[in-house]
Amino acid sequence: MAGRGDPPEGTPEGLPGGEDEYRYLVFDEAFVRAARLQEFSAEERMGEHSQAVRSRPAHEGRGGSRQALLLVLLIVLAFGTAVYLGVRNPYQPPADQRAEPLRITMVPLAPQGPVPGGTPAGLFAHSPVAGYPSGAAGINLPLAARTTHFSESQVVAALGIAKDYLVASSLEPDVLTGRTVRPPRLLLDPDQLEQFDRSVEAPQDDGGHAVSGWLIRFDPHEVALADPAVRVQGTLRFAEVDTDVLDVTADHTFTYAVRPATSGSGPAPQASLFTVHRMVHFRFDREDLRMHRAELLTSTVEAGPQSCDADTTGALRPLLAGERAADPSRQAVTDPYATGRPTTSSLCGALAPSAQPSF
């Protein structure tokens, strides 16, 4: 028999209705809580301008909040890992280190007789520099290789900066003739600029403030270049001395053709050769490499022919063609073309006769 709400013949098969029609839809408590819309009650719907449904408060969807919090934690963890790995990377630059003051040693080399004179070409051809290259071509870079804590590119950078400084301070014509000191100054560590400027403005023979320790310069009122092509020979060596410090040692001989400074017309006076054996110890930290600058640790200069009593703090003072030293040195004979550490530790040395041109 049909129920009160059913048609007399019962519910037709296949039509909507019946207790099993929505059997597969289960509205459990979790589903209801997760719903973002909620139906108003009958009393609430009777109000003016009311809507049928309202949004549920955001705090009721706590699953999304947990996911957002987890995402933030993952980002923080990734960032912290990157920072840690960056600190552990040996190629990351540490805090910049203070540069030490430059220590300078100057050794004049006195000739044992008159200084030979002639034309620049003839002097070069009959001296030890006959086969030497000219200018920057004589400052060759060694084969670079990585060290324990410095990459090959960093080693190449250090060698390149050292060469740039040697060219700027030993071969630049305006530097040699005293017109400027800017080229080498631009390559110095800022911590050494005060010492450099004091050496230029008020040079002293105190082991730290002789301009000739920083660069090669002649007094333009006394000496002129007879040939701008300076003959150069020497070596560059590199070594890692600390996890953050790379050293480069430059050991070069520079030979200049010079003559007396003259003005006006007339035949040019004879030229003579002046030889400078220069050893410069450079030091680089990672900031120096990044900024393309150098720290000079020590500078040793043996130069002649000069008199032992010559004041070389502000400029080198060559003895020119035909001149003699007023005080021939009785110290050990020194050959400025020999590489390695200076052979004399005195204030003056004797210029080896083999270092002079022979006709």
Strand extents, DSSP E, 291-351: 295-304, 333-334, 349-351
Given a cut of 70, whether residue 16 has pLDDT beyond it is: no
* pLDDT score at 354: 93
Percentage of residues in the chain having pLDDT higher than 90: 62
The CA distance from 282 to 239, in Å, is 11
Q: Where are the alpha helices (DSSP H) in the chain?
A: 29-34, 42-45, 62-88, 120-125, 152-170, 173-176, 182-185, 193-201, 286-291
What SS3 class is residue 107?
strand
Q: Name the least confident of 24-33, 70-79, 92-101, 185-194.
A: 24-33
Dihedral angle, C-alpha 352, 353, 355, 359, nearest 10 °:
180
CA angle 283–289–291, rounded 5-degree value: 120
DSSP β-bridge partners for residue 170: none
How big is the chain, counted in residues?
Answer: 359
pLDDT in tens, 204-245: 999 999 999 999 999 999 999 999 999 999 999 999 999 999
Contact between residue 203 and residue 317 where contact means Cβ atoms under 8 Å apart: no
The CA distance from 301 to 336, in Å, is 9
> If you average pLDDT over residues 337-349, what whole number do you get?
72
* pLDDT score at 36: 53
> How much is the pTM?
0.73
- Strand (E) or helix (H) holding 99: none
Contact between residue 302 and residue 342 where contact means Cβ atoms under 8 Å apart: yes
pLDDT in tens, 95-130: 456 888 999 999 999 998 999 999 999 999 999 999
Query: Which residues lie closer than 8 Å to 253 by C-beta, 6 or more apart?
Result: 232, 233, 234, 275, 276, 277, 278, 336, 337, 339
- pLDDT-derived band of residue 91, with 50, 70 and 90 as boundaries? very low
